Structure 1
Amino acid sequence: MSLLVLWKARTATAATDRINLGTGHKVLVDISNELPNGTSFTIHCKYKDDNLRNHFVDPQQKYGFKFRTNFWGTTLFFCGASWQGRQVEFDIFRASRDDTKRCFYHWG
């Protein structure tokens, strides 16, 4: 159930971190806390040497980041999330899987 919640949570918020990897496509990753029973979680995302640190997400709150994909189309962001003694790790963005499955937008 937790993976489904986090996958579903990828779809709506304002970004807080910006990473410039290159001149590729603009990507916005959005994570909102929709876990049941007022549960908070901690999430930690990384790209190679770019560490976005731990972020604590309260119930019904959001966290996000945006970036440009690299020239070679090999961009990979992965995250680990933990809550109430549970833990999960996953690829939140993998260019080979996700680059054609996104909405276009403009950031300032």
Structure 2
Amino acid sequence: MGISNHTFVLVLVLILCYGSSPISSKNVYIWNDLMPNVSLTIHCKSKNDDLGQHIIHYKKNWNWNFQLNLWFTTLFWCNAEWVNPATKKVVSASFVAYEREHMLKDWTSQCFECIWSMRKDGLYHSLPWGEKKGFRFAYAWGSGIQKELVDRL
């Protein structure tokens, strides 16, 4: 085999290993931790996959899993909303549920099990690997996806 054949075989092996690696597989969980008797409506999608609208009851979750792509552009965003029983107003937020491109810069993508906790005061994300168990505030209700991100979609 010439050097170009060795390079081709090496690249092919890396692609096959990467695609079946558990590291490239991610799980996202969205928990409704709002308050009793309040349901959360969630609609998540990527550029290629619309995961549909789901109703999550209090203290329940909805989840999905996916494989990372080789171009480091895996991105899922969600719209979440619920009705505040005190004001009867719809409370909503649009947020990035997972973005591979910013894995080294954004702690919300440094996870294998990416867990979101929707709470009355905002959206919380599980802490990254190596930190204490728990959650960190990530988005406020009423927030939206940044214009630069929408332009890339």
- Please confirm whether the aligned pair reaches a TM-score higher than 0.5, indicating the same fold: yes
Alignment of 1:4-15 (within 5 A): none
Q: Which residue does 1:8 correspond to in 2?
A: none
> Which segment is superposed worse, 63-72 or 30-39?
30-39
- The Cα RMSD (Å) is 2.1
In structure 1, runs of 5+ residues without a counterpart are 1-21
Q: Which residue does 2:98 correspond to in 1?
A: 93
> What is the distance in 2 between the residues matched to 1:56 and 1:77?
18
Q: Secondary structure at the match of 1:81?
A: strand
The CA deviation at 1:102 is 1.5
Greater C-alpha Rg: 2
The CA deviation at 1:39 is 1.4
> Which segment is superposed worse, 70-79 or 91-100?
91-100
> What is the distance in 1 between the residues matched to 2:67 and 2:48?
15
Q: Secondary structure at the match of 2:111?
A: coil
> What is the distance in 2 between the residues matched to 1:56 and 1:33?
10
Q: Which residue does 2:39 correspond to in 1?
A: 40
> What is the distance in 2 between the residues matched to 1:103 and 1:95?
11
Moved over 4 A (4+): none
> Which segment is superposed worse, 94-103 or 67-76?
94-103
In structure 2, runs of 5+ residues without a counterpart are 1-17, 84-89, 114-153
User: Normalising by the residue count of structure 1, what TM-score does the alignment of the two structures yield?
Assistant: 0.69
Q: Share of identical aligned residues, percent?
A: 30
Alignment of 1:1-108 (within 5 A): 23=19, 25-84=24-83, 85-98=90-103, 101-103=110-112
The CA deviation at 1:95 is 0.3
- Counting strand residues as a fraction of each chain, which structure ranks higher? 1
> What is the distance in 2 between the residues matched to 1:98 and 1:40?
31
Would you say how many aligned residue pairs link Structure 1 and Structure 2?
83
User: Normalising by the residue count of structure 2, what TM-score does the alignment of the two structures yield?
Assistant: 0.49
- Counting helix residues as a fraction of each chain, which structure ranks higher? 2
